[in-house]
């Protein structure tokens, strides 16, 4: 669904035939500047209805992250199948310079993926593995 402030903008789309993510764009009327170390919530002007058993993941754009140090703060942001509000993107500027976003600027990617839900079962012990409880570099790499 295109919201009033998103009218006239392109719908999210895939840049190439094999792209996993669709580009999300800023639906702003006036440019927004994101200072170094600051975060901002940017509207996209769209809302979606996903089928049950699916989610949408809001992920950073690699070029924006590499070139300007801007990333999605809660990456990946999850949009649940029962959410009907506007998709908004929380960006943070980890770079050294302010970054300005105007109407239609690509700000993030949206990946649609299936969801598996787990059913918890309390147990007294877990099966053993070669790795065991080792984490945070325990595999030697």
Give the pLDDT score at 134.
82
Q: pLDDT of the chain along its 141 residues, tens only?
A: 999 999 999 999 999 999 999 999 999 999 999 999 999 999 999 999 999 999 999 999 999 999 999 999 999 999 999 999 999 999 999 999 999 999 999 999 999 999 999 999 999 999 999 888 888 877 776
Would strands 54-59 and 32-34 be described as parallel, antiparallel, or unpaired?
A: unpaired
**Cα–Cα distance for residue pair 60/20, rounded to 1 Å:** 13
pLDDT of residue 131: 85
Q: Give the pLDDT confidence score for residue 46 in this predicted structure.
A: 98
pLDDT of residue 130: 87
Angle formed at CA 60 by CA 13 and CA 92, multiple of 5 degrees: 130
How is residue 101 written in tokens?
A: 């976003």
Domains of the chain, start order: 4-114 (2.70.40.10)
- Report the pLDDT value the prediction gives residue 27, as an integer from 0 to 100: 98
Q: Which residues contact 131 (CB under 8 A, 6 or more apart)?
A: 138, 139
Residue 141: its pLDDT value, please? 63
- Distance in angstroms (rounded) separating the CA atoms of residues 13 and 123: 45
Nearest to 32 by CA among 113, 96, 89, 117: 89
Instruction: Answer yes or no: are the C-beta atoms of 54 and 115 closer than 8 Å.
Output: yes
In this prediction, residue 136 carries a pLDDT of 80
Q: Which two tokens stand for residue 46?
A: 């769209």
């Amino acid at each position: 669904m295109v919201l009033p402030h998103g009218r006239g903008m392109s719908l999210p789309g895939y840049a190439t035939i094999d792209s996993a993510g669709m580009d999300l764009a800023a639906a702003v009327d006036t440019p927004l500047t994101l200072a170094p170390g600051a975060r901002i919530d940017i509207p996209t002007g769209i809302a979606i209805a996903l089928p049950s058993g699916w989610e949408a993941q809001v992920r950073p754009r690699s070029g924006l992250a590499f070139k300007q140090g801007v990333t999605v703060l809660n990456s990946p942001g999850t949009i649940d199948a029962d959410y009907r509000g506007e998709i908004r993107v929380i960006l943070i500027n980890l770079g050294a310079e302010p970054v300005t976003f105007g109407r239609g600027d690509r700000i993030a990617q949206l990946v649609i993926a299936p969801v598996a839900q787990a059913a918890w079962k309390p147990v007294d012990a877990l099966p053993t593995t070669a790795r065991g409880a080792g984490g945070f570099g325990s595999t030697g790499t």
